[in-house]
Amino acid sequence: MRNSYLTLLSTLVFAVAGTATAQQADEKDVYEIEYHVMSGDNHIESGFGNWAPALPAPSSQTMMVNGEKVNLKYSMLSGGDGVNMSFYITEDDRLWGIFTSSQCGTAIVDEQWMGKNFNLQKSFSKRCQLRLSITKR
């Protein structure tokens, strides 16, 4: 089986309360997000970033989750060459995320999150596995 390498570009776009950054938040409210995706050919795609979910999102920030329009408190987006990951915290404290790549397909995360450290391991299409951790810094 040949190795195929998907590269995650170093372009991370943080959409936390518009143009706010982690440096503007109280240090106790800064989290590190790390995700690893292992594909069927043992290739690892990973990314990480600082996230400051203490900052409020604009009141108009909404999205559709499972066919329902929900208000968002916080969001973080990252994208690359054929690889995309988006995380959202909804008003009812649900962590919702979606990972897509041409190698692995799509994995959806929909879990309760109360602002604490979070760890998840999930298998999904094409023998791929997602490991996601959110750690308070």
pLDDT at 80: 65
pLDDT at 8: 25
pLDDT at 76: 75
Q: Rounded to two decimals, what is the model's pTM?
A: 0.61
In Å, what is the CA distance from 103 to each residue of 12, 41, 57, 81, 106?
20, 10, 32, 11, 9
Quick one: average pLDDT of 123-127?
80
Across the chain, what does the average pLDDT equal? 69
Q: What does the block give as tokens for 101?
A: 């790549």
